[in-house]
């Protein structure tokens, strides 16, 4: 018997993308799943769409709603509280999971009991520009991976509910706004858990101007506070913070138009390589 997967998703004002996100889970080839969605007090009609889906699929979709906007970490913790599955998968309200995503990841964990979490590569896309480059992560990240890169693509992960329970879920603090995943990985490795990344791009991540603009100056520097906490937890040398500080400074001062131009360059390079 296959293990039940609880797909958890926090959403806020995703009216133009939420149908594609939910439909991608409904289309999964893996059959034993439930979809727990927490609407974070949306104001644009997202909640009404989700209510329709929940009414159409009462045995599949559990819909929660925050009375005030609590941000992603708190919304995901609410999902975890009611999750019935032995396995937990992530999903975002503006992205798309390919049909075989859950099947491939669940099979991997079943065949590798020594692994606690499996993530996948993901491909960037936008409605205007189409498909762009594929984001890969290290096949087998470890506790030192956070020094150079984010070890897992957060929205693509599949892990055990016991892992979340051991870690106490997501940290809900101002510093973890948009860096709740980085904080989670620090605690994940500190606790001795192991994870891997599948090189297949089983997830499509929406990368448009709106996504770029969400990474504001304030968000960048709050994220740096989370980096400092993570480095202390993992016993990194203090001098390593210099590199993290410089990267944060450069990214926070880079204007949105330049970031968008860089993304477009990445797409053109990817398409040229694909044509060869």
pLDDT at 270: 56
In three-state secondary structure terms, 119 is strand
Cβ contacts of 68 within 8 Å, gap of 6 or more: 41
Is the separation of the CB atoms in 222 and 175 below 8 Å? yes
Q: How far apart are CA 96 and CA 8, in angstroms?
A: 14
Please provide the average confidence, as pLDDT, over all residues in the chain.
90
**Average of per-residue pLDDT across 139-159:** 94
Residue 17 has pLDDT above 60, yes or no: yes
Give the residue among 75, 58, 60 at the shortest CA–CA distance from 28: 60
Greatest C-alpha distance within the chain: 55
pLDDT at 223: 83
% of residues, the chain, pLDDT over 70: 89
**Average of per-residue pLDDT across 149-156:** 94
Is the separation of the CB atoms in 30 and 57 below 8 Å? no
172: pLDDT confidence band, cut at 50, 70 and 90? very high
Q: Name the least confident of 151-160, 238-247, 254-263.
A: 254-263
Q: pLDDT tens digits, residue range 207-239?
A: 765 555 555 767 777 888 999 999 999 999 999
For residue 118, the number of C-alpha atoms closer than 13 Å in the C-beta half-sphere is: 21
**Average of per-residue pLDDT across 153-173:** 97
pLDDT at 262: 60
Residue 99 has pLDDT above 80, yes or no: yes
Q: Name the least confident of 41-55, 92-106, 149-163, 196-210.
A: 196-210
Q: What share of the chain is helix, strand, coil (3-state, %, to 5)?
A: 45, 20, 35
Residue 131 has pLDDT above 90, yes or no: no
**Average of per-residue pLDDT across 196-208:** 92
Q: pLDDT tens digits, residue range 18-74?
A: 999 999 999 999 999 999 999 999 999 999 999 999 999 999 999 999 999 999 999
Most confident of 4-13, 216-225, 248-257, 260-269: 4-13
Higher-confidence residue of 269 and 110: namely 110
């Amino acid at each position: 018997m296959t293990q039940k997967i609880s797909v958890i998703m926090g959403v806020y004002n995703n009216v133009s993308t939420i149908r594609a996100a939910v439909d991608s889970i409904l289309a999964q080839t893996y059959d034993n799943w439930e979809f727990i969605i927490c609407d974070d007090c949306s104001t644009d009609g997202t909640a009404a769409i989700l209510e329709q889906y929940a009414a159409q699929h009462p045995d599949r979709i559990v819909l929660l709603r925050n009375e005030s906007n609590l941000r992603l970490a708190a919304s995901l913790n609410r999902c975890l509280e009611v999750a019935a599955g032995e396995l937990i998968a992530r999903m975002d309200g503006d992205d798309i999971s390919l049909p075989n995503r859950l099947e491939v990841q669940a099979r991997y964990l079943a065949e590798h009991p020594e692994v606690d979490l499996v993530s996948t590569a993901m491909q960037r896309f936008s409605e205007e520009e189409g498909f762009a480059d594929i984001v890969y992560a290290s096949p087998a990240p470890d506790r030192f991976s956070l020094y150079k890169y984010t070890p897992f693509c957060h929205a693509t992960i599949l892990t055990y509910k016991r892992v979340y329970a051991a870690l106490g879920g997501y940290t809900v603090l101002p510093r973890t706004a948009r860096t709740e995943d980085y904080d989670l990985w620090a605690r994940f490795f500190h606790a001795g858990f192991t994870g891997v990344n599948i090189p297949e791009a089983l997830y499509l991540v929406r990368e448009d101007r709106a996504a770029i603009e969400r990474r504001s100056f304030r968000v960048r520097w709050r994220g740096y506070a989370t980096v400092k906490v993570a480095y202390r937890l993992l016993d990194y040398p203090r001098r390593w913070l210099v590199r993290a500080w410089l990267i944060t400074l450069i990214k926070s001062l880079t204007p949105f138009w330049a970031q968008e131009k860089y993304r477009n360059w990445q797409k053109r390079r990817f398409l040229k390589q694909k044509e060869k």
